[in-house]
Structure 1
């Protein structure tokens, strides 16, 4: 016979079904304690030893307090609720639980408890730290969270019901027995460090916290661990680095010290590394025992600045570096470099200061020597720079004086320039220069530049009156001296005298005068000597120029006399030659009338022709001389006409046709018809063309060419006459236009000449406003005439 379950039976079933989750109720206070402890332990891994001790005390008190509170808070109502649920299942629906909870609220409270347990289960499983529960007797795992499974690489089925030995976690029975023994003695384990092996064989280091708990009357152990594998590796790396650093510092002679500085500026030493005796002369024990010993050995001058600087950097938690003198036990002062590294210890309410101290005495000594060397070098560089700057200024002044005096041919200007420049650059109170007259034995001051008491200019001094000075100057030697007795005008002064001399002798001197306490140094004396040398060169050059100009004037005078003589002679000879020419014509008529032509006509005609030719030759020479004289005077204005060169030149060329044919020469004329109309004096241009063609026919051998061409460019007309078969040398080209100059051995036809033809051509071309030049190359000689198409005189 079957029946429906009653409401009481259903409640019992629900309670029975929820029995396993209720086991976690007993874990709540312990989990809270462990989580708090693990969290604080994570922080402790980054704290100092003293901080760790203080925090351990705080953790222990906190966990005990939270355990009591949470146990009372959770356990009492939960046990009441469980008892009420069981009573309700047994039929006591109207019974009240205690005095405060009616039975009819049981289901609601049960539901809330179930939800709370589910939330706790989620927290348990989601914790980032591995949490596990094992039995006390056998150590079999009855519950683990997901962090444990993830960290060790197992599934839940592989873990539940097995021991750590079964899983190969690396915890053997002996180690577990030690944990059980410690739990029995202390009831709790905090921060026990141990190594475990994951499923994959990876060794990990954990901090383990454990407590004894009871679940459903069974003794169990709750384990909460913290993975510190990375921290341990970092610690190992840090220890290795510290060992290396300690080795380096030890080999470098450095000392590490640590002390605590409190807010009242009191301090205690905690640590001194090896090497303190080598640097300070005292052992770590001595320095720790007497905290004022270290400061008392600092130099009194340094302690006033170093100690406040250290305190200031520590209180500001700022790293700093100080250097000071420390008196070693042997009494020798040594330089110490101290790097201060502070940090704040909040729990101890002080600053922990680490110092790295190094003996830098040798470096300081080397630095001081280097500084002295640098100072000496800087002084030398500055001195050398000043010398170079002075040398550059002197060089610039010397160049300036040289340019001025060499460009001048005036002796007064040369001396004035030198005196003024020297006085300004050297800052002398007075500078003057004198020229010697050795025949009269005097020295005359030609120029003076003075800032005070001038008045020596034009003064004449007898050289014999001061033999001690002028004897050195006449030998070409400079001298510097102080006046023995004060000068009535200047007082006591320093004087420098330098001769103005060249390879031909002494011309004069340069004097510089200064205050008695300001002597002239070697560079200044050398500058004065160089200026004196330049003055000597300029003076000699000026005198040579004056002599040359005197000679030029004399030559010009002679040239004028010559021209006047030639002009006079030409005029005087022209009239007799004209008379001779007329007489020859009358003689020819007379001879013909007397019958001499009939007797010997050829002989008489030959004699008469010789007389005519020579007479004409002399007349031509006289005409050329008169033309040259007139052109030199430049008094004749141009009588300008316009002409077409291509038609104008034909009659002139025609007059040479027979001569060219007779001498078997080749004459070519190439005058373009499109040349611009030329404005010039026709008679003078005809004289130029005739003379150039005559000169070409005269010097061109048989079968060679004579070529005449013309062109126009840039408002100028160019006429070119060339002949082949003869080439004039470069040395002859420079003189070809000189008066009376004839090229030797270059007249194949033996026509002779006066040497005035080309000189007259050049004068005529220049009178027409043009130019002429002669060139020779490749067996050709070329004369090029350039004329303005329209002269500027128009």
Structure 2
């Protein structure tokens, strides 16, 4: 404001000086030339001279005023316009300044609010990390700086806030050589391939105790696709790993127990079966004599023998299945690989179930393509698998429904499907269909019962031969699909 006033005062003084100077120059010129003209035209007449002198004065004043008005108006016109524009600009500037001050105040308030929110979120994150036993870390490759969250310190039995060890020191002090090598290899691969990593690691805490973490890391790249940072998390999974070890120990104990029991039961059951067979032979010699005297008792004896024979076969099947499962899981089962003519083999195995299907008013159809390449696999194991699927199909198919056996060759494998209509397995049950000792509730219309080991064993056998087995269920029924490679690698 002081500068504008000084400029305005200088401008007024300059204009006044110009006006006075012009006025004096014009006056002098007018007096000089006007007197000479009057003397030339009027001669010695004084009256006329007086009037002319008066007229000359008025003309001089009017002429000078006109010149001054024109000059001053010309000089000040641009200044007035500039002054008007300047006032408008100053008004807009003041308005803008007020708006900026208001925006600045709002921005400062937003920053304060956002800072408070971020602080609250940071506190909550720390609480959540402490509850979930998960910590976060960051490694800046440009500066070499490493940062840990408080929970990382706690996981490794360190005090939050103390100095963070270097990467090499961390590997040396908190991991065994084998685990340190695994972690370093994962980090190196992530940096080279710009891909995240995830692995379970056994750690050595500062107090000497051991634990487990689930380590995850992800490289961060800049606009030039260069890795500049590595961020990740460490989840304390010590409790989960302890439970897994205990569970594996219990499963191992269970399998050993079942194997022991199966071996101990197999010989007595075989002896019982042999005794039943001998008893049938002896009764076969005596029953014709007894039947003539008492037919009711003879039928009862035959019924009891049939039940005894059936129960003995069922117990032997359980024992044999348990032993086969144990051998498969231990890798002790042998296999004999030979070419199998698939169409003849499927026709032979499936046709044996025609009579059983007819007795239960079921339809058994076999759909075979014109030709299929020979399958190189173990015929005995595959026959056991296909019989298990057909037995299940007959067991769970209601009267009037259809059992379908179908073969589909592809480029590298062969698919064998066994489907039965009129039944349905919910998705929740379908996921457990291959578990040991599991049977679908209420799915046995013929009330035959079972061990719950057949499908588990069949799936293991197919996988042992390099194939896969899956179960499906929809409106068409239940479908088991076996996929077998033509050549076992």
TM range (shorter): 0.5 to 0.7
Match of 1:289 in 2: 20
* TM-score, scaled relative to structure 1: 0.38
Match of 1:618 in 2: 315
1:734 aligns with 2:431: yes
Match of 1:722, SS? strand
Deviations along 1:253-306, one digit per CA (max 9) or x if unpaired, are xxxxxxxxxxxxxxxxxxxxxxxx9x976999974323699xxxxxxxxxxxxx
Q: What pairs with 1:548-563 in structure 2 (closer than 5 Å)? A: 548-563=240-255
Match of 2:164, SS? strand
Q: What pairs with 1:420-459 in structure 2 (closer than 5 Å)? A: 433=150, 444-445=159-160, 448-449=163-164
Provide closer, same or farther for how the CA distance between residues 447 and 284 of structure 1 changes in structure 2, counting only shifts above 3 A.
closer
Match of 2:266, SS? helix
Higher helix share: 2
Deviations along 1:58-111, one digit per CA (max 9) or x if unpaired, are xxxxxxxxxxxxxxxxxxxxxxxxxxxxxxxxxxxxxxxxxxxxxxxxxxxxxx
1:784 aligns with 2:481: yes
Provide closer, same or farther for how the CA distance between residues 783 and 291 of structure 1 changes in structure 2, counting only shifts above 3 A.
farther
1:678 to 359, 375, 381: 375
Distance apart, 1:682 and its partner CA: 0.6
Deviations along 1:317-376, one digit per CA (max 9) or x if unpaired, are xxxxxxxxxxxxxxxxxxxxxxxxxxxxxxxxxxxx999522334543554575685799
Provide closer, same or farther for how the CA distance between residues 705 and 445 of structure 1 changes in structure 2, counting only shifts above 3 A.
same
Alignment coverage as a number of residue pairs: 344
Distance apart, 1:638 and its partner CA: 3.3
Q: What pairs with 1:270-669 in structure 2 (closer than 5 Å)? A: 287-290=18-21, 357-359=78-80, 360-361=82-83, 363-364=85-86, 367=89, 373=96, 377=100, 414=135, 417=137, 433=150, 444-445=159-160, 448-449=163-164, 542-543=235-236, 545-592=237-284, 595=286, 598-600=289-291, 601-669=298-366
Match of 2:159, SS? strand
Q: What pairs with 1:227-242 in structure 2 (closer than 5 Å)? A: none
Name which structure has the greater RCO, CA cutoff 8 Å, separation 6+.
Answer: 2
Unaligned runs of 5+ in 2: 1-7, 25-73, 167-172, 174-230, 292-297
Match of 1:702 in 2: 399
RMSD: 4.6
Deviations along 1:617-648, one digit per CA (max 9) or x if unpaired, are 10011111111111122333532111111111
Match of 1:358, SS? helix
Q: Distance in 1 between matches of 2:346 and 2:401?
A: 22
Distance apart, 1:665 and its partner CA: 0.7
Q: Distance in 2 between matches of 1:715 and 1:449?
A: 55
Unaligned runs of 5+ in 1: 1-276, 294-352, 452-457, 459-533
Maintained 8 Å contact 1:435/1:446 = no
Structure number, greater radius of gyration: 1
Provide closer, same or farther for how the CA distance between residues 637 and 366 of structure 1 changes in structure 2, counting only shifts above 3 A.
farther
* TM-score, scaled relative to structure 2: 0.59
Q: Distance in 1 between matches of 2:161 and 2:350?
A: 68
Maintained 8 Å contact 1:670/1:708 = yes
Higher strand share: 1
Q: Distance in 2 between matches of 1:714 and 1:446?
A: 62
Q: Distance in 2 between matches of 1:701 and 1:678?
A: 33
Deviations along 1:423-445, one digit per CA (max 9) or x if unpaired, are 979x99x98958899xxxx9735
Maintained 8 Å contact 1:733/1:775 = yes
1:770 to 461, 467, 470: 467
Match of 2:28 in 1: none
Maintained 8 Å contact 1:665/1:702 = yes
Q: What pairs with 1:88-99 in structure 2 (closer than 5 Å)? A: none
Q: Distance in 1 between matches of 2:376 and 2:413?
A: 11
Maintained 8 Å contact 2:133/2:151 = no
